[in-house]
Structure 1
Amino acid sequence: MKIQESAENYLETILILRQRIGQVRSIDIVNEMNFSKPSISYAMKQLRENGYILMDESGYITLTDKGMEIAERIYERHKVLTDYLISLGVDEDTAKGDACRIEHVISPMSFEMIKKAYLESQKKDK
């Protein structure tokens, strides 16, 4: 199933926040993404209805297995692509921005080849 880029970004943000602060609430996503509370509330409702997140009675958000799979895939792409671009000489801010756009459209095959090349180059540098 194809998921929209915005949903991938929300799921990735939830994963990153969970790793950084532990429990995640909608307000944390608002602060991280600089979006309005109503926008985040609507997005969380859509993610809940589509089975990507769970929200408890206190408002804490948990990724479902389906949501976690997508979040981890996008986050891995983001990290590898960012690091790879930096290793090619791209400045960090540009690399992060470009990786954020590329991570949503790159094919699994192309990503795996870039990842393989990057990891091999890292082994040679050590």
Structure 2
Amino acid sequence: MKVSKRVSKREEEYLETMYLLHKNKGVIRVKDIAKIMNVKPPSVVDALKKLAEKGLVEYEKYDRILLTEEGERIAKETYSKHLALTKFFVDILGIPEEIAEQDACQFEHYVSEITVERMKEFAKFIQEQCPYVLKQFLKEKREKK
């Protein structure tokens, strides 16, 4: 099975959703993917077919759905970015959690791994070296709500 290097933002979203379903429920079902992604089941089936052609999922109609090693790698990478971005937005920038989650969902598909790592390093640095300045910044942002 040929693995394509080109994975769209939407395909990353599908892979991430499947990864989280498997992690939390132990099983990946079309109806669960459809519900989470707010799409109709036929759209999920079409996406699964494309992802299977790219070697990112194992999917046969009416059979179990599994992420391949490469599909899981992409999903974990995307989810890891999501978590790091959300944490940065909330802890360092003082963005409300709901907004931070939404923004992270968008950013995770476009930001490089090096940028995420640098954000983590910056967050650690500012929290350790300038905790008072960070607390003052966050206090001011929360007061402006």
State the TM-score, normalized to the length of structure 1: 0.89
> Is residue 2:101 matched to residue 1:90?
no
Letter in 2 for 1:92: E
Structure 2: gaps of 5 or more residues: 132-145
Question: Is the 8 Å Cα contact of residues 15 and 71 (structure 1) preserved in structure 2?
Answer: yes
For the residues of structure 1 that align with 2:109 and 2:67, how far apart are their CA atoms?
19
Q: Number of residue pairs matched? A: 125
Tell me the SS of whatever aligns to 2:55: coil
Structure 1: gaps of 5 or more residues: none
Match of 1:106 in 2: 111
* Cα root mean square deviation, aligned: 1.9
Match of residue 16, structure 1, among 20, 36, 40:
20
Q: Render the CA deviation track for 1:35-59: whole Å, top value 9, x for unaligned.
A: 0111111001101111000125742
Q: 1:51 to 1:58 in 2, by over 3 A?
A: same
Question: Is the 8 Å Cα contact of residues 25 and 59 (structure 1) preserved in structure 2?
Answer: no
Question: Is the 8 Å Cα contact of residues 56 and 69 (structure 2) preserved in structure 1?
Answer: yes
Q: Render the CA deviation track for 1:1-21: whole Å, top value 9, x for unaligned.
A: 231000000000001111111
Tell me the SS of whatever aligns to 1:24: coil
Instruction: Please tell me whether Structure 1 or Structure 2 has the larger radius of gyration of its CA atoms.
Output: 2
Q: Identity of counterpart residues, as a percentage?
A: 34
Letter in 2 for 1:52: L
Match of 2:32 in 1: 28
